[in-house]
Structure 1
Amino acid sequence: MNLFEAMKVFVKVAELGSLSGAARALGLSNPSVSRHIADLEQYLQARLLNRSTRRLSLTDTGSAYLERSKQVLFDLEQATLAAGMHAAKPSGVLRLNAPVSFSVSHLGRVLPLYAQRYPNVALDVTLSDRIVDLIEEGFDLAIRIGRLQDSNLVTRKIAPARLLLCASPAYLEQHGTPQQPSDLERHTCLTYAYSMPGDEWRLQRDGKTHTVRIKGGLHCNNGDLLRAAALGGMGIIRQPTFIIGDDIRNGRLVPLLTDYHGPELAIHAVYPSRQHLSAKVRTFVDFLAEQFGDAPDWDRDLPLS
């Protein structure tokens, strides 16, 4: 038995929920697929699939083995690709989806450096804060910010995304400065549409979580507009430092409740695990991690807990 071949067949059967579907996808006969599964179960001395005349389902052992098998096959594929593409020059069109505010403020300034290093790669960048389907919409990779939902995508952290509460000096002079989380309930708070839940802010200190119900006169799906409204004295915002860092350093916005911190978020590069990792994708992800990293310049000299 070829163990890796049997694992590949098992993963495909589990993904498609069908022996015949896996056979078609892999270009094998139905008996060949059945034999691979039987040989693998015999080798493991464990049942991986529950079979009936109408459907297949994973056993508990099968579910656990599926996740490990995916990782083993992915690692093998990456090792093979790394060896085979060591001398390959990245080329072709790289289709990237990225969030608006981060891209305008930070991604755009580093793209010329990537283009100089890899002149044979053409960049096709679509900016959108919605979560796109990479495979269905034909993207090679995406940049996503925040906690990622469970998926079949490969992810790599390229930088932290830290949130700070802040407001303009004019707003604070008129309305006062909140001293504790509950004070926010009496203030105008400008909220971001993609934060869930939208009418609550959660702040933590010393292992305790403070949940505050907030209200305000502006709810928006773009962080730059919220920043502009806060600069104009409209209210308090909670935005990532890559949007508001310069304003805080220059005194245009004042950080608030800095002894408290919000959820730990990150900026990730994500790409489909079912596709081969091309040289253009690999080099671009490496480049992003190199340019930003764990101590990005937008966090410089900020009061981060």
Structure 2
Amino acid sequence: MDKIGELTVFAKVVDEGGFSAAARAMNLTPSAVSKQIGRLEDRLGVRLLNRTTRSLSLTPEGRSFYERCTRILSDIDEAEAEVTSAHTTPRGMLRLSCGVAFGRHQVSPLISEFLERYPDVQVEMIQTDSVVDLVEQGVDLAVRFGELQDSSLVARFLARSKRAICASPEYLERHGVPQHPSELQDHNCLFFSTLPHLNEWIFKVPEGEYPFRPQGNFSANNGETIHDMALSGLGIARLAEFLVAPDVRDGKLVRILQDYYRDITVPIHALYPTRRHLSPKLRAFVDFLVEKFSPVPPWERL
């Protein structure tokens, strides 16, 4: 038996007041317990216990050794409990990556509630519209839109997001409301400067798909700024429903060309590197996002 095992047997003999009682408590035979104590004393070169046929008592060396043993065994129990707790209780730093607009409008408002539930967790939020390498940059979780490209990541479905072609009532009053996607070429369209895949506006027409590349006098590298410009009446934009739904409800923006665009949706996933040994903090946060965004995302409840 290893040293920790010997210490455990010795402490149990003292606590139970005899070899037989210790043997019953540990599901061992009395002879096995006696041999362990004998080996321990031989290794230490001192007698730890005074034995008679009717009683057992500690020698002075044995009492000092017992006090140290109980402290050591208690420290081991506490260390194991701490490690076990770390694998069952969410705690520690969680690094989260998500898009600027989605992070600000949909994820950030939820963080306070999550941290109230799990006060031992700290969250670092990285808002960027660029694709982050989770492993290389030490990110625990990313929330991403679109079809999945990296098969090495584990994906948890959150929701589907529609996009809307929209403009302010003031813009539409000045320039008219387009009735067909082809009429967008006569309008000032707002587009992304650094995310070319977002500048492919695909419409559904009776003949099939109608692709359109927006042109206009303003572009930006994020949806937040394009959203602001659409609200200001500068032009027509294609933006996510999670961003524009409150404005449509309040009459600040108007959806247009819905018959050509209403069925086009984009999946949203929570992505993380591996299923093996998934940390409690990550599991808790992913489950929390699923709870908040499924089965109906909050922007569709307005």
Read off the aligned partner of 2:140 and give its amino acid letter: D
Partner Cα separation in structure 2 for residue 217 and residue 135 of structure 1: 39
Q: Is the 8 A contact 1:160 1:294 kept in 2?
A: no
Alignment of 1:1-305 (within 5 A): 88-193=88-193, 195-197=195-197, 199-205=199-205, 208-261=208-261, 263-273=264-274, 276-300=277-301
Partner Cα separation in structure 2 for residue 85 and residue 151 of structure 1: 32
Q: Secondary structure at the match of 2:135?
A: helix
Q: Is the 8 A contact 2:140 2:273 kept in 1?
A: yes
- Give the fraction of aligned pairs with identical amino acids, expressed as a percent: 41
Instruction: Please tell me the root mean square deviation across aligned C-alpha atoms, in Å.
Output: 2.2
CA deviation map 1:201-250 (0-9, x unaligned): 11125682111243111121211111110111110000001111111011
Residues 156, 193 of structure 1: alpha-carbon distance in 2 compared, 3 angstrom cutoff: farther
Read off the aligned partner of 1:240 and give its amino acid letter: A
Partner Cα separation in structure 1 for residue 184 and residue 231 of structure 2: 18
Partner Cα separation in structure 2 for residue 282 and residue 118 of structure 1: 12
Q: Is the 8 A contact 2:87 2:279 kept in 1?
A: no
CA deviation map 1:99-122 (0-9, x unaligned): 111111121111111111111111
Structure 1: give runs of 5+ residues left out of the alignment: 1-83
The structure whose Rg is larger is: 2
Read off the aligned partner of 2:180 and give its amino acid letter: Q
Number of aligned residue pairs: 218
Partner Cα separation in structure 1 for residue 253 and residue 136 of structure 2: 41
Q: Is the 8 A contact 2:153 2:273 kept in 1?
A: yes
Structure 2: give runs of 5+ residues left out of the alignment: 1-83
Partner Cα separation in structure 1 for residue 200 and residue 98 of structure 2: 26
Residues 150, 140 of structure 1: alpha-carbon distance in 2 compared, 3 angstrom cutoff: closer
Residues 179, 271 of structure 1: alpha-carbon distance in 2 compared, 3 angstrom cutoff: same
Read off the aligned partner of 1:88 and give its amino acid letter: T
Q: Secondary structure at the match of 2:136?
A: helix
Partner Cα separation in structure 2 for residue 198 and residue 126 of structure 1: 21
Partner Cα separation in structure 1 for residue 250 and residue 228 of structure 2: 15
Partner Cα separation in structure 1 for residue 184 and residue 208 of structure 2: 17
Partner Cα separation in structure 2 for residue 85 and residue 157 of structure 1: 28
Partner Cα separation in structure 2 for residue 155 and residue 207 of structure 1: 35
Q: Is the 8 A contact 1:144 1:268 kept in 2?
A: yes
**Shift of the alpha carbon at 1:165?**
0.4
Q: Is the 8 A contact 1:147 1:266 kept in 2?
A: yes
CA deviation map 1:235-277 (0-9, x unaligned): 0000001111111011100100111226421221100027531
Read off the aligned partner of 2:294 and give its amino acid letter: G
Structure 1 ranges of 4+ moved more than 4 A: 84-87
**Shift of the alpha carbon at 1:171?**
0.7
Read off the aligned partner of 1:258 and give its amino acid letter: Q
Q: Is the 8 A contact 2:98 2:143 kept in 1?
A: yes
Q: Secondary structure at the match of 1:102?
A: helix
Partner Cα separation in structure 2 for residue 294 and residue 195 of structure 1: 29
| TM-score normalised over the length of structure 1 | 0.67
Read off the aligned partner of 1:249 and give its amino acid letter: R
